[in-house]
Amino acid sequence: MAASTIKLKLLVDTKAKKVILAEAGKDFIDFLIHLLSLPLATVVRLLKEKNMVGSLSYLYETIENLPDSCLQPGHTKKSLLNPRASIRVTGIPLTLSNNDLETRYFYCCANYYSHHTVADVPNMTCPTCMQKMSCTLSYVSSTAGVGFVNGSSVTYIVMENLEFMPMSPELFVTLLKKFKNREVCGALEEIDVNFGMQEGLNLLKLSMECNTVLTNFYQANVVPKV
């Protein structure tokens, strides 16, 4: 079962309230990659109640209220508003799509072995024999592993714009020298963050708004309010 919270260590310039970099494990990196697999409709559904996605929320609500009679055969409002992610991987922490763990099926006609034609919704008409495609085929994911990256003994460096790379002592020293020479104007402090579902939604929102994601996240969610 995916974790309900994950750990993130921020290295912060306390004077500028700026995240220099973050240290993260496999769980956080898997979550970041998982964001890229989310269909746009899923992102809108997750963020629309918080007024986070502009006009797309109105488009989503329009489809919610659209009469079924307006849709072409084979399409449903559920399939449009809750599309399945193209990548199905187990063990993703803070999974934001409620479709990821559903069993996926395809459908074929009785002559599948000669036609080799499938549909992703039932009862479509086979273009070859014109029979209903009502026979169910189970889908088996080609991904056998858990998550996306190796990480049992790997720590990753994450930059404030969400670029990430495997940690190494040489890389860490190089990055610190770079920031000390150019940007850091205060003391550096390590801050541990418990990253849960709400923080995941906040990060998703910020990733669509700016390049200083971790700094903005830190300033909005971690800095004590005065």
The phi, psi pair for 11, rounded to 5°, reads -100, 115
Q: What is the pLDDT of residue 55?
A: 83
- Entry pTM: 0.80
Look at residues 127, 128, 184 and name the one whose alpha carbon lies nearest to residue 160.
184
pLDDT of residue 99: 55
Q: What is the pLDDT at residue 51?
A: 64
Tokens at 21, concatenated: 């970099």
Each residue's pLDDT, cut to its tens digit, for the chain (226 residues) gives: 455 789 999 999 988 899 999 999 999 999 999 999 888 998 998 888 766 667 888 899 999 999 989 998 777 898 889 887 766 677 788 878 765 445 678 899 999 888 788 987 788 889 999 999 999 988 776 554 588 898 778 899 999 999 999 999 898 888 888 877 665 566 889 999 999 999 999 999 999 999 999 999 999 988 765 5
Q: Which of 45, 34, 40, 44 is nearest to 88 (CA)?
A: 34
- pLDDT for residue 207: 94
For residues 14 and 32, give the distance between their C-alpha atoms in angstroms, rounded to a whole number: 25
Nearest to 31 by CA among 91, 80, 83, 76: 91
Supply the pLDDT for residue 100.
46
d(CA 77, CA 55): 19
Could you tell me which residues come within 8 angstroms of residue 154 by beta carbon, excluding any fewer than 6 positions away? 25, 26, 166, 167
At residue 62, the pLDDT reads 93
What pLDDT sits at residue 19? 94
Residue 145 pLDDT: 59
Amino acid identity, residue 66? L
Q: CA neighbours within 13 Å on the CB side: how many for 202?
A: 15
What does the alpha-carbon distance between residue 94 and residue 46 come to, in Å, rounded to a whole number?
13
